[in-house]
Chain A
Amino acid sequence: MAYSVKVLDHYENPRNVGSFGKEEEGVATGMVGAPACGDVMKLQIKVGKDGIIEDAKFKTYGCGSAIASSSLVTEWVKGKSVDQALDIKNTQIAEELALPPVKIHCSILAEDAIKAAVADYKKKRGE
């Protein structure tokens, strides 16, 4: 399969790979997917006291498109409020990375990862 230039770029040079310390303040984690399905994404956001996402990190088990989708969203969520982050839609991710139809599920998974991370943040704050 031929990959788009943007997928290849994110795959070759993934942005924000890694994990935050578990006890760091303002850190929330979203883990979506399953090994049996061939992809698992872990997205972590670090939210400041003002509710703005200061930093984000990811780790992904999956194909090149799944890695690129999660790498891309770590860039996109930074500087947004948690509610603004929820506005990121899978169609935008798919469009930005020029994902072929068989890889749309990767962008859906990345959107789900954002939702899961924000839900975890809100849960931790007792919202």
Chain B
Amino acid sequence: MLKLPIYLDYSATTPVDPRVAEKMIPYLVEKFGNAASRSHAFGWESEAAVEEARDEVARLVNADSKEIVWTSGATESNNLALKGAANFYSGKGKHVITVKTEHKAVLDTCRELERQGFEVTYLDVLENGLVDLDVFKAALRPDTILASVMFVNNEIGVIQPIGEIGEICRAKSVIFHVDAAQATGKVDIDLNALKVDLMSFSAHKTYGPKGIGALYIRRKPRIRLEAQMHGGGHERGFRSGTLATHQIVGMGEAFRLAREEMAVENKRIGALRDRLLKGLSDIDQVFINGDMVHRVPHNLNISFAYIEGESMLMAIKNLAVSSGSACTSASLEPSYVLRALGRDDELAHSSIRFTLGRFNTEEEIDYAIKLLHEKIGKLRELSPLWEMVQDGVDLSTVQWAAH
């Protein structure tokens, strides 16, 4: 029996895997000790759990557990990485490089760095959403101290060439930060091989709980940061605050499951995504946003031309999807990520993001395909743009009364 609505918004957040929740619960009531309590068994028990989880996070990305610092989530990790590194190394230079399609947690932090006197270059991307390595190289300056590029884009799911960018940065001694919130469990991450200095993680995008994340801080060569949160000196002074043992245990378990299951899971989810794409491919005037090859298997971002995204969401309310990104859908502006790809505003307004996950089934995807066919037909009947195009009008030649 199909349960409605169907959740197809796994890049917004994922449910906590029941196996993760089960592992977390004892750390709320029975094993409640403060991991910083060194004087009794309650503290030791929590500390051991925290370190086991830290090890699991490190193992997923082939890092040393001493390089992992707990935070409240990827937003805090991005803030700590960018502000912490920029502030610590400001004596070396004041220039920072990032990309226009980054998450707001990076872009807004960069805006703050600008207010603090840093200079930030926001790079354009190619039409497929990927960073052009030559453009990246050209943006480097003698006073560049820091670069930040996301591993996987949250809206279009494209995978940036992190290996190549890392080599470029290392050769120029530029600290390289990567927001990997959308990448864990989706792509193989080997921090032993990648020349990445700082990497942000989130638990709740990978079937862990909300409110917990981590920052990888490389030890060789050693990267230093200025702390943003001061207090009891937890996490070797990088991030003070009593550790949320139950959340940390949840993140560790979620990342352990990701490590063990991602190869099989990504194949299954990729097949569902391809089934969805195939099911929609007979619809006229449908455009995929972002590169289809360098892309995580669970993401499909499509523009249904001549249908406005919000009315589409209303029409398919039995599908939990997003138009643009969940963070910006409260505003009327079309997605800044799609605009950065050079998509015209009409197609940006018409985009829907489907992100599939662990608990989706073929039956759900087939329901979605059927529903989309019905509603697209209905909404195009309602669309004056569709009518004009059918009559052979080239919309780019129309003089619109802008308002």
Residues of A within 8 A of B (CB): 1, 3, 11, 14, 17, 19, 31-42, 59-64, 66-67, 102, 105, 108-109, 112, 116
Q: Does B334 contact A (CB under 8 A)?
A: yes
In the assembled complex, the CB of B127 is this many whole angstroms from the nearest CB of chain A, namely 19
Q: Are B401 and A32 in contact (CB under 8 A)?
A: yes
Closest to A29 in B: B384
For A37, the chain B residues whose CB sits under 8 A away are 345, 402-403
Q: Does B387 contact A (CB under 8 A)?
A: yes
Q: Are B395 and A67 in contact (CB under 8 A)?
A: no
Interface residues of B in 354-373 (CB under 8 A from A): none
Residue-wise, chain B 284-312 has the 8 Å CB interface mask toward A (1 for contact) of 00000000000000000000001110110
Listed by A's residue number, 11 A-B pairs whose Cβ atoms lie within 8 Å are: A1-B330, A14-B382, A19-B387, A32-B401, A32-B403, A35-B344, A37-B402, A40-B400, A41-B384, A60-B382, A64-B311
Q: Are A60 and B383 in contact (CB under 8 A)?
A: yes
For B330, the chain A residues whose CB sits under 8 A away are 1
Q: Are B345 and A35 in contact (CB under 8 A)?
A: yes
**Given contacts A63-B311, A64-B310, A67-B311, A40 and B403 within 8 Å (CB-CB):** no
Closest to B349 in A: A38
In the bound complex, how far is the Cα of B403 from the Cα of A4, in angstroms? Answer: 25
Q: Does B385 contact A (CB under 8 A)?
A: yes
In the assembled complex, the CB of B347 is this many whole angstroms from the nearest CB of chain A, namely 9
Interface residues of B in 365-403 (CB under 8 A from A): 381-387, 395, 400-403
Q: Are B385 and A61 in contact (CB under 8 A)?
A: yes
In the bound complex, how far is the Cα of B386 from the Cα of A38, in angstroms? Answer: 14
Q: Does B138 contact A (CB under 8 A)?
A: no
Q: Are A59 and B383 in contact (CB under 8 A)?
A: yes
Closest to A1 in B: B330
10 additional contacts (CB under 8 A) given A38-B308, A59-B382, A64-B310: A19-B387, A32-B403, A34-B400, A35-B345, A38-B334, A60-B382, A61-B307, A61-B382, A61-B385, A116-B401
**Given contacts A19-B387, A35-B345, A42-B384, A11 and B403 within 8 Å (CB-CB):** no
Q: Are A35 and B334 in contact (CB under 8 A)?
A: no
Q: Are B384 and A105 in contact (CB under 8 A)?
A: no
